[in-house]
Amino acid sequence: MASELKRTRMSAQERREQLLDVSRRLFAAKGFEGTSVEEIAAQSGVSKPIVYEHFGGKEGMYAVVVDRETRALTDALSGALAKGGHPKLLVERTALALLGYIEENEDGFRILVRDSPVAQATGTFSSLIGDVATQVEHMLADQFRRRRLDAEAAPIYAQMLVGMVALTGQYWLDARELDKSVVAAHLVNLAWFGLSELRRDPHIASAGASPA
């Protein structure tokens, strides 16, 4: 019995990390509303007051989990963009960074893409992707100017490009038939050849007319 008690005794920091690990798994599986403090406490082998002592409640715990995942994904994506280089390589690195994060942090990504009342205050996946698009925007604007395209259109192209990668990542989260490198290659194939053939004056085909 003494050895059993010794094994379960943790420092405050160790207990905090254990609670975060358990809650992260539950939030990913059941969402914020479907997860209770009672369940977190039970699976952690502690009483409810211990959970409240560390986080003040479920909302506080969820906010910490979301903040950690947001920073991890932001660092991964920003790191891919910070290396610079050819635009095609930037698309490739960004796609691989997102897919790599999903592969290594499936529970974290499921939490980020869920909507919850707490996420409105801690930051949402869409706002994170918007921040990344802002970084991409400056790079695209430079390339547009070099190719004598309208640089003022760069923001919307950045949103479309990053949005395409993000939505594909959400699809790949559950459809894992293809390796991440294959998925990234297809993303680059569509994105790059679309970007490389951009027209200076795009337009919508008139009703009934054949697209050019």
Instruction: Supply 115's token pair.
Output: 């909507």
CA distance 34 to 69: 20
Comparing 78-82, 97-101, 201-205, which segment has the lowest mean pLDDT?
Answer: 201-205
Fold of 64-197: Tetracycline Repressor; domain 2 (1.10.357)
Other Cβ atoms within 10 Å of 78 Cβ, number: 14
Band of residue 91 on the pLDDT scale cut at 50, 70, 90: confident
**Which two three-digit tokens encode residue 193?**
């050849």
66: Cβ contacts below 8 Å, ≥ 6 apart: 111, 112, 118, 119, 122, 123
Place of tokens 């490009």: 161
Q: Is-above-0.85 flag for pTM?
A: no
Whether the Cβ atoms of residue 105 and residue 69 lie closer than 8 Å to each other: yes
Q: What is the pLDDT of residue 7?
A: 44
Q: Is 208 left (phi over 0), alpha (psi -120 to 50) or beta?
A: left
Higher-confidence position of 71 and 139: 71
**Strand, coil or helix: 212:** coil
Q: What is the pLDDT of residues 151-167, one digit of tens each?
A: 888 899 888 888 888 88
Considering the chain, what is the average pLDDT of its residues?
Answer: 83
Q: What's at 129, amino acid-wise? A: I
Please count the CA atoms within 13 angstroms of the CA of 4 that sit on its side-chain side.
2
Tokens of 112: 């980020």
pLDDT-above-70 percentage for the chain:
87
CA angle 174-135-70, nearest 5°?
45
Q: How large is the average pLDDT for residues 7-30?
A: 88
The residue count of the chain comes to 212
Please tell me the predicted confidence (pLDDT) of residue 1: 42
Residue 206 pLDDT exceeds 70: no
User: Which pLDDT score, from 0 to 100, does residue 3 have?
Assistant: 42
**pLDDT, tens digit, for every residue of 101-140?**
999 999 999 998 876 555 554 456 777 788 888 878 887 8
CA 180 to chain centre: 15
pLDDT digits (tens, 9 = 90+) for 21-46: 999 999 999 999 999 999 999 999 99
Structure confidence by residue, pLDDT tens digits, 182-197? 999 999 898 888 777 7
